């Protein structure tokens, strides 16, 4: 009986130690995004402590959309390895129907502006595989804000 309790304790301790040593997905995303920023010499800053990094290429107008505005954009989306998963020329959409990374990032520029968003998986599709985007994937978007309502 004592051997059984001892064995269960050792197994439980081993599982707990293994669990505590694993990096969280947000830590992995942050590490991958900051490496991408460094490797590509991008002048990016973090949006508060959200994990979203951005680089404003062109500020655009002085008025900015809000998180529920209808926006018209051109964009290119790719994984950190450079694999493009989507692109669009002049598409209209409502920011409140997009990934959270866009809701935070697009309002940072005005009409006519351009921004690069480096979005952690938690602000994109999380643990879900969407199309050819693997689960837990940080994403890069280059977005031109044409206009908004």
Total residue count of the chain as it appears in this document: 149
26-43 confidence digits (pLDDT tens): 999 999 999 999 999 999
Distance CA(142)–CA(83), nearest Å, equals 13
What does the angle CA 120 – CA 92 – CA 146 come to, to the nearest 5 degrees? 85
Q: According to the model, what pLDDT value does residue 22 have?
A: 66
Mean pLDDT of 49-56: 97
Q: Find out whether 137 and 118 touch, Cβ atoms under 8 Å.
A: no
**Comparing C-alpha atoms, which of 63, 54, 70 is closest to residue 114?**
54
Distance of CA 95 to the CA centre of its chain: 15
Q: Which domains are seen in the chain, by residue range?
A: 25-148 (3.10.50.40)
Q: Find out whether 79 and 139 touch, Cβ atoms under 8 Å.
A: yes
Distance CA(94)–CA(103), nearest Å, equals 9
Any bridge partners for residue 133, and if so which? 130
Q: Which residue has the tokens 């809000």?
A: 66
* DSSP alpha helix (H) spans, 22-99: 25-39
pLDDT confidence bin for 3, thresholds 50/70/90? low
| pLDDT of 16 over the 70 cut | no
Torsion sign across C-alpha atoms 73, 77, 80, 81: negative
Distance CA(47)–CA(43), nearest Å, equals 13
């Amino acid at each position: 009986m004592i051997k059984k309790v001892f064995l269960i304790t050792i197994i439980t301790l081993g599982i707990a130690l293994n669990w505590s040593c694993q990096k969280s997905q947000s830590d992995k995303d942050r590490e991958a995004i900051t490496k991408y920023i460094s490797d590509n010499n991008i002048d990016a800053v973090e949006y508060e402590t959200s994990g979203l990094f951005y680089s404003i290429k062109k500020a655009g107008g002085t008025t900015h959309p809000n998180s529920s505005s209808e926006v018209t954009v051109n964009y290119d989306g790719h994984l950190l390895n450079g694999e493009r998963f989507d692109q669009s020329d002049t598409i209209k959409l409502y920011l409140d129907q997009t990934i959270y990374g866009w809701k935070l990032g697009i309002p940072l520029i005005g009409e006519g502006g351009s921004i690069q968003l480096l979005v952690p998986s938690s602000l994109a599709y999380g643990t879900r595989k969407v199309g050819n985007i693997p689960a837990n994937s940080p994403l890069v978007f280059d977005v031109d804000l044409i206009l908004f309502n």
